[in-house]
């Protein structure tokens, strides 16, 4: 199997002519000149299509193993565009009960008033027969959104089994692949119909832009996506498009180091006396590991753990030289977020740590020193 860095470089490859740049510069959105025959123009208005989008979308489709991908302004836009494009009034829409909280808010505040039946299911509900019962009651046309690994709990949904269940029920399966990225997991190859993701995080990887995308396995779904993006105007700007495309070439190197760091950090945290309840899908002792190992190539940059109190989290971050307090994740810096501040149903001392690309030994030494200071406090 081709390695991740090779996949990333090939995805953004530019077949130019002698004397042309190896990497294209930004394609700025501007009015396009129209032809006299009034037919056949590839681009007429930048909100509908433009060369910069096509280059980035081609790379994303290649990485996800999709027939097509469409970029939008953020990861949340990817979810809302996909739900509006594929769900209709009267159908059942399943969203994660223990995933990103903004998705639940959107479904209840916007989709439910439009006549859609919103059901919130946890990762456990996907595997214990609850989803099957919901789909049997819903009938054909249901839309199921799964997030795996979940954010922030890092539980995993068995995508093969869920895809078979959705297919038998005539439901469409959407998978939020933000945490895993296509370098860690390929939901379409596991049977999903649609991938939604925030490229803001590990794929762009420098904490300096917002973007999201939707990738599909069926060409028949593309027109509905295009229509929704055009009408909603939830588009990606030209400079962000260029930055994202440029960043993809190094995603394999960055993500590989992040995952290496995350596994080493998780093992260290499990042995430190100041820490409780470490979660990482790559740990053989983790309850999510059997499913993760069966469907993931890499286990991602996120590790979660619990310190005794809220103040201990702040002491930990202040004592660490290599940890930055931030709510986004997937960048080159190691970041920490106390998730209870956002209302997630987690302990006050729950930390979601996103491992960066620092040298592993340096990161481990820094985290140990910070945790030792928490224990002494």
pLDDT digits (tens, 9 = 90+) for 302-337: 999 999 999 999 999 999 999 999 999 999 999 999
Answer positive or negative: Cα dihedral of 181, 218, 210, 11.
Answer: positive
Residue 362 appears among annotated catalytic residues: no
Q: Which residue in this structure is represented by tokens 């895809």?
A: 163
- Classify residue 118 as exposed, middle or buried by CB count within 10 Å of its CB (0-12, 13-18, 19+): middle
Residues 74-102 pLDDT 10s: 999 999 999 999 999 999 999 999 999 99
pLDDT average, residue stretch 225-238:
95
pLDDT higher than threshold 80 for residue 22: no
Residue 318 appears among annotated catalytic residues: no
Alpha helices by DSSP H, the chain: 4-11, 51-64, 75-86, 101-106, 123-127, 130-138, 159-169, 222-232, 238-248, 251-271, 289-295, 310-319, 360-376
| Neighbour-count burial for 219-253, b at 16+ CB within 10 Å, e otherwise | eebbeebeebbeebebbbbbebbbbbbbbbbbbbe
For CATH 3.40.640.10, the residue range(s) in the chain are 4-248
Among 270, 229, 207, which Cα is nearest to 47's?
229
> Considering the chain, what is the average pLDDT of its residues?
94
pLDDT average, residue stretch 286-298:
98
Residue 213 appears among annotated catalytic residues: no
User: 32, 43, 47, 110: which one is catalytic?
Assistant: 47
User: 7, 70, 119, 201: which one is catalytic?
Assistant: 201
Residues 256-267 pLDDT 10s: 999 999 999 999
User: 100, 106, 213, 280: which one is catalytic?
Assistant: 100
Given this structure, which CATH class describes domain 252-376?
A: alpha beta
pLDDT higher than threshold 70 for residue 25: yes
CATH number of 4-248: 3.40.640.10
For CATH 3.90.1150.10, the residue range(s) in the chain are 252-376
pLDDT score at 269: 98
User: 98, 176, 286, 312: which one is catalytic?
Assistant: 176
């Amino acid at each position: 199997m081709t390695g991740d860095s090779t996949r990333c470089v090939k995805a953004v490859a530019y077949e130019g002519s002698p004397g042309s740049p190896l990497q294209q510069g930004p394609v700025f959105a501007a009015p396009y000149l129209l032809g006299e025959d009034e037919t056949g123009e590839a681009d007429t208005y930048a909100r509908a299509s433009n060369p910069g989008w096509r280059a980035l979308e081609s790379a994303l489709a290649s990485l996800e193993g999709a027939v097509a991908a469409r970029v939008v302004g953020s990861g949340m836009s990817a979810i809302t565009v996909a739900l509006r494009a594929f769900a209709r009034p009267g159908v059942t829409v399943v969203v994660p009960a223990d995933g990103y909280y903004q998705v639940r808010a959107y479904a209840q505040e916007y989709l439910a008033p439009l006549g859609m039946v919103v059901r919130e299911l946890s990762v456990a509900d996907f595997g214990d027969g609850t989803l099957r019962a919901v789909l049997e009651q819903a009938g054909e046309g249901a839309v199921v959104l799964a997030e795996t690994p979940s954010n922030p709990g890092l539980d995993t949904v068995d995508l093969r089994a869920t895809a078979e269940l959705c297919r038998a029920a005539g439901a469409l399966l959407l998978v939020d692949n933000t945490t895993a990225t296509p370098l860690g997991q390929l939901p379409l190859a596991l049977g999903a119909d649609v991938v939604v993701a925030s490229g803001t995080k590990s794929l762009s990887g420098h904490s300096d832009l917002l973007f999201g995308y939707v990738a599909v396995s069926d060409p028949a779904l593309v027109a509905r996506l295009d229509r929704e993006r055009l009408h909603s105007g939830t588009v990606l700007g030209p400079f962000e498009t260029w930055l994202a495309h440029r960043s993809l070439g190094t995603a394999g190197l960055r993500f590989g180091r992040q995952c290496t760091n995350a596994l080493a950090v998780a093992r260290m945290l499990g042995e430190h006396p100041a820490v409780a309840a470490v979660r990482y899908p790559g740990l053989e002792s983790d309850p999510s590991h059997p499913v993760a190992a069966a469907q993931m190539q890499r286990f991602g940059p996120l590790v979660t753990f619990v310190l005794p109190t809220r103040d201990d989290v702040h002491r930990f971050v202040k004592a660490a030289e290599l940890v930055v307090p931030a709510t986004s994740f997937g960048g080159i810096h190691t970041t920490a977020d106390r998730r209870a501040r956002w209302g997630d149903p987690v302990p006050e001392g729950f930390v979601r740590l996103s491992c960066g690309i620092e040298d592993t030994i340096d990161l481990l030494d820094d985290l140990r020193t910070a945790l030792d200071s928490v224990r002494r406090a």
